[in-house]
A and B are shown apart, each in its own frame.
Chain A
Amino acid sequence: MTVNGFLQVGMYVVVLLALAKPLGGFMARVYDGKSTWLSPVLRPLERLIYRVCGVDPDEGMTWKTYAVSMLLFNFLGLLVVYGLQRLQGILPLNPQGFAAVTPDSSFNTAASFATNTNWQGYVGEATMSYATQMLGLAVQNFVSAATGMAVLVALIRGFREAGSRTVGNFWVTLTRSTLYILLPLAIGLALVQTSQGVVQNFSAYRTVPLLQATSVTTPVKNADGNPVLDEKGEPKTETTAVTEQTLPMGPASSQIAIKQLGTNGGGFFNVNSAHPYENSTPLSNFFEVLALLLIGAALCYTFGQMVGDTRQGWAVLAAMTVIFVAMLALCEWAEYRGNPRHAAAGADIVASDVHPGGNMEGKEVRFGIANSALWATATTAASNGAVNAMHDSFTPLGGLVPLFMMQLGEVVYGGVGSGLYGMLVFAIIAVFVAGLMVGRTPEYLGKKIEAYEMKMAAIVILIPPIVVLGFTALAVVTDAGLASRFNKGAHGFSEILYAFSSMGNNNGSAFAGLSANVPFYNATGGLAMLMARYWLAIPTLAIAGSLAQKKHVPAGAGTLPTHTPLFVCMLIGVVIIVGVLTFVPALALGPIVEHLMLSQ
């Protein structure tokens, strides 16, 4: 890794951690209903929303009511996104005149955006009207993120309350998350991005002459799609001169800001943040990759603040950061090291002042290896899934990093809200095993962890493996699953595994080696995303409900402290061991085999 690369990545981690406390403290105030510097403007608006919607902000909800409200709200969102796609042909704000999206793709996309996954089977600039993008996708970017935060806040209240049947009010938490946290941050980020050249308009696409005309040679195909052979038996080709290019336009900046902040990741354009109109400069890249993990990291501090012991929040943040930095180091190392076969063939893969070295395939020159590997690790650490490089082109180990980060269950920062509640469930399991080892009924933050919590926690760690391994197994033995691969062999396996790891953990990033917009992947993927989101959120709320009813056990010398480096290690160990033991066989047949073959 180059010094320059080190500095950029190091600065990133420092800024991220430095922002955790101010933003986290602000969020804690918001959730506790305390006044903030935004209150004079937003408080009247908040009250107006409650009045219009008929919400009593002081009404507490049991975990079941909370869960039902969340599910209904999300289902409604899913219907709206589905409807907008199916009807976009007759709706305004459609300068390119896009027709309705197919039913299977519409379902997949609706499920994808409602679940905060933002897996994209479609090509944004060639499929979606501005109306669909703004009213459907961008709105879900806000509220699906706010939903994750609402579930997290309910869990935190579960730890905080004692002898209470309620875990807060879903509508209030949802409204505050959107109004006080997501909206102001998104507006700020959108302005910064626009200053860097990210587009924000309602114009039709523009066709411009190329500065450097070029030509493309393609094989000639007959009506059946088979190559036509010439008299020598070779495939016939034809050469087309390319002199102009269509540049997509649209209200991109406003949507990109929230797709980064809300760990959504659904790009306005198909190549996502690798596109110059979506991520124009190294500076815009820095802000976008910062926004990826910003709220997820800061929520740890919010958690600590709300449970009355900020050390607890720092401990969880430390566990996340250690895993993140370790995986980031592996990814950077693998990508800087490059492909040994290229070196063997005489290519210079050592970084120097004049060229980046390493593995630059599929990476944007303006970002280079350091920022591409950083982005890949961060986007899969958070359940974001936006990309600024093509993960399919990473080295096997470099590609293993994003794959494994998702398979850990999106708990290293993770999705806004969902990452931390996932991590807290892991903490519950860690506390359970550790608590037994010190000879006490385990307790976390003063709450006893008993059979009911273990049952729910077991469901939470079970669902992602079921979804990921189950659907991957189905795909690798069915023709429909195999047909979409761009590659064969171990890499083809990695592509399928990556797709389901991404959808089964609500990440949404694509390895970009699979044509997923086919009924098989649209249907299975849609199901995977719904299962992975709600079958985790519901048991988490059940834990919240159960914890809220319990008494607080005061800590003593026999209580296992959960803010120490030792516990942080234990937590990291549990996350890694569960991830490794679940996915190592699959990884061995994918990226690990690829790596071993490459190094042969």
Chain B
Amino acid sequence: MQTHTKARPLFDSEIVRGAIVASFAKLDPRHQVRNPVMFVVLLGSVLTTALLFQALGGHGEAPAWFILTVSLWLWFTVLFANFAEAMAEGRGKAQADALRKARRDIIARKLAKAPSNSSFTPADARTTPTTSATLRKGDVVLVEAGELVPSDGEIVVGVASVDESAITGESAPVIREAGGDRSAVTGGTRVLSDWLVIRVTTDPGETFLDRMISMVEGAKRQKTPNEIALTILLAGFTIIFLLATVTLLPFSIYAVNEVGQGAPVTMTVLTALLVCLIPTTIGGLLSAIGIAGMDRMIQANVIAISGRAVEAAGDVDVLLLDKTGTITLGNRQATAFIPTDGVGMDRLADAAQLASLADETPEGRSVVVLAKEQYGLRERDIHALGAKFVPFSAQTRMSGVDFDGRHIRKGSADAIEEYVQASGGQLPVPVRGHVERIAREGGTPLVVADGPQVLGVIQLKDIVKTRIKDRFAELRRMGIKTVMITGDNPLTAATIAAEAGVDDFLAQATPEKKLELIREYQRGGRLVAMTGDGTNDAPALAQADVAVAMNTGTQAAKEAGNMVDLDSNPTKLIEIVEIGKQLLMTRGALTTFSIANDVAKYFAIIPAAFAGTYPVLNALNVMHLATPESAILSAVIFNALIIIGLIPLALRGVRYRAVGASVLLRDNLLVYGLGGIVAPFIGIKAIDMVLVLSGLA
């Protein structure tokens, strides 16, 4: 699994070899008919080949060598387009092959039933060997260090370090444990230490690995909505040019009859003209662009469930970003205890420590650390005290301990206020002041209460990631609004939002609030993207238009999203949006280029085809092409070669810069529009000179 696509060069010799073979296999008309533009070229190639045989039989409408050359280059045009597609597919296939190696049949150790308590140890487990291919949803298996995880599943018992490099390409092991948001394991990954009991969550053939393979292979590739719209436009242009060329035959017959010189334009020339005019450049590269877009996602270590999602990424208007991990570094740290009037510092520190002893969240641990460092409070064993830990929940937004009849709680000001009011207490005025001040300064106040009495405030501080502000400014220039999602109170949220430079924020976010926010943006016609990893993110992920699930996240999150980020990097969304935009831009740029090319081709072919009848038309031969034959051949050859020439651009994509739509359009119009008009004049002239020098024409 060290052969990751990241390292693969654009023209890998192995892929090129496979692509050349595939180019011929793709000549199958059933494949070609999916692409109307290239299908017309295929028909043209067949027609000119038939004309060649007629010429060889002595009844040719033009010299056999001329028909042969035109015919050959028309075939090359089709093959070159096939090659482009095969190249793009080949890169995905290479990745899929590597993945397939991870999907070996594994002998799993199946347990009769899930162990009921945490005192389970692998030593006393009775397992039956079962091949992974026969594992069904709901089966429970035991995996020990050194063994491969047989299928996708949820950890029931155990903690282990797992090597997920087969999926992510990342060699550092990750910790997986039962419960919480790190409980999902993927089939094909290897347990490095300890053991896990896993409940299988997918049937064979539907595992994450299976879906990934079919996705990167493009086996299930369907045309995306935008690609369909563009294909319709290209088909429209093709029909127009078909008409413009077909009617030239009667026009030419008329002219010859009237003027009495020259000969009607030949079928060979008309076919050559048609193929030159129809948008073969974009037509030939269209599917390669789409596949390459998926491929670029894979190189960014993102697996898109569909091409539609990749395309939608370019349209995203709103990004919902979790504050923690995305905007701020890791987690908030406790920095100070601020007791209320009449309460000693020791009492507050003591209560704060007790409330946090069993709190395994980074915030909770930082409270214990602060209590130890500043007030010399040693850690105590919560079980020894006979205390009962009350864990944090999204609904109560508090955690704490109950012991000796005391109910110590810490949580947001709102939550604690509600809590103390319920037992007859109230939030003291000084505490309210501290809370507001801390929040204004960008910190997070945690209020500590002992029963109905509020003791004081713990100040937690966030550290905003460096350079994140630049990324948001860039997004703003892209026309994308960033919204920070946080469980913090509005004041805290506003301060961090200002510091990080996001456009908006959702404070005190609950899964319901998140879902409602997404729906509200969507009602306003906006496309929303978000990242998520927890099970409680699943509804919002399912609702968002572009939903990136973290690979470290739960199975539910991965199922709900339409992309999975293998690096589990929340800022990846920005890259994803860029890839989506590149995909659309590459299509637009090559369409413009393709159509703009036609101007020069007219200047090459019209004088060549009709100067025999009207010699004055030679005035239009502005490129001074040597002979009518060399002019037509040069145009056809240029048309074929430009497909090959643009394969790297199709695979890499047109570069996206966050400079605003107008500047982007202006620059692309200059490069691909104006460039598209000028380039073929130079190219066709150059090919003509080569033809003359080589004595071919």
Q: Could you list which residues of chain A lie within 8 angstroms of chain B, going by C-beta atoms?
A: 429, 432-441, 446, 449-451, 453-455, 457-459, 461-462, 465-466, 469-470, 472-474, 476-477, 482, 488-490, 492-493, 551-554, 556-561, 564, 566-567, 569-570, 573, 577-578, 580-586, 588-589, 592-593, 596-597, 600
Contact = CB atoms under 8 A, between A and B. Distances in A.
B240 interface: yes
Contacts of A482: 254
Contacts of A489: 258-259
A554 B481 CA distance: 12
Interface in B102-119: none
B166 to A, nearest CB: 33
Nearest to A598: B616
B665 A437 contact: yes
B598 interface: yes
Given A465-B240, A581-B277, A593 B247 contact: no
Contacts of B225: 441, 450-451
Nearest to A491: B258
Given A461-B236, A462-B240, 8 more contacts: A469-B243, A469-B247, A477-B254, A490-B258, A552-B525, A557-B478, A558-B661, A560-B665
A18 to B, nearest CB: 29
Contacts of B226: 436, 441, 450
B248 interface: yes
A581 B656 contact: no
Contacts of B480: 556, 558
A572 to B, nearest CB: 12
A558 B232 CA distance: 25
B228 A446 contact: no
A490 B254 CA distance: 9
10 contacts: A437-B664, A438-B661, A440-B315, A451-B225, A477-B254, A551-B523, A561-B661, A566-B665, A589-B255, A589-B614
A473 B242 CA distance: 13
Contacts of B614: 490, 589, 593, 596-597
Contact of B230 (A436, A453, A457, A473): A436
A557 B524 contact: no
B672 interface: yes
B177 interface: no
Contacts of B315: 440-441
> Which of A469, A553, A582 has the most C-beta atoms of chain B within 10 angstroms of its own C-beta?
A469
Contact of A554 (B526, B585, B669): B526
B248 A585 contact: yes
B662 A439 contact: no
A459 B620 CA distance: 32
A280 to B, nearest CB: 41
A432 B592 CA distance: 11
Given A451-B228, A561-B662, A473 B250 contact: yes
A432 B233 contact: yes
A476 B254 contact: yes
Interface residues of B, number: 76
A466 B243 contact: yes
B201 interface: no
Interface in B137-173: none
A441 B584 contact: yes
A439 B602 contact: no
A553 B583 CA distance: 21
Contacts of B587: 436
Given A440-B315, A454-B232, A477 B664 contact: no
A581 B595 contact: yes
Contact of A437 (B246, B252, B585, B602): B585
B673 interface: yes
Contacts of A557: 476-479, 660-661
A434 B583 CA distance: 14
A567 B240 CA distance: 24
Given A450-B225, A450-B229, A577 B584 contact: no
B492 interface: no
Given A477-B250, A585-B244, A589-B251, A458 B585 contact: no
A436 B585 contact: yes
Contacts of A566: 662, 665-666, 669
B390 interface: no
A57 B501 CA distance: 52
A184 B524 CA distance: 42
Given A436-B588, A557-B477, A570-B669, A469 B525 contact: no
A465 B226 CA distance: 26
A361 to B, nearest CB: 22
A492 B584 contact: no
Interface string B604-615: 001000100010
A449 B589 contact: no
B591 interface: yes
Given A449-B229, A588-B606, A440 B258 contact: no
Given A432-B229, A458-B236, A554-B526, A581 B244 contact: yes
Contacts of B251: 472-473, 476, 493, 585-586, 589
B585 A438 contact: yes
B287 interface: no
> Which of B229, B248, B662 has the most C-beta atoms of chain A within 10 angstroms of its own C-beta?
B229
A582 B244 contact: yes
Interface in B445-486: 476-481
Contacts of B241: 581
A558 B317 contact: yes
Given A454-B229, A557-B477, A588-B610, A581 B598 contact: yes
B236 A462 contact: yes
A455 B232 contact: yes
Contacts of A588: 606, 610, 617, 620
A469 B240 CA distance: 10
Contacts of A429: 233
Contact of B584 (A440, A473, A488, A582): A440
B619 interface: yes
A439 B580 contact: yes
Nearest to B255: A589
Contacts of A450: 225-226, 229
Contacts of B580: 439
A593 B261 CA distance: 15
A566 B673 CA distance: 13
B526 A439 contact: no
A433 B279 CA distance: 13
> Which of B243, B620, B665 has the most C-beta atoms of chain A within 10 angstroms of its own C-beta?
B665
B443 interface: no
A252 B201 CA distance: 85
Nearest to A474: B250
Contacts of B236: 454, 457-459, 461-462
Contacts of A476: 250-251, 253-254
B582 interface: yes
Nearest to B583: A439
Q: Which 5 A-B pairs have the closest CB atoms?
A: A558-B479, A436-B588, A439-B581, A458-B236, A557-B479
A597 B582 CA distance: 49
Given A438-B585, A461-B236, A584-B602, A593 B253 contact: no
A157 B258 CA distance: 51
A133 B523 CA distance: 55
Contacts of A440: 314-315, 581, 584, 661
Contacts of A597: 614, 616
B235 interface: yes
B606 A473 contact: no
Contacts of A488: 258
B239 interface: yes
A581 B582 CA distance: 28
A589 B243 CA distance: 16
Contacts of A470: 243, 247
B531 interface: no
B535 interface: no
Interface string B643-683: 00000000000001000111011101100110000000000
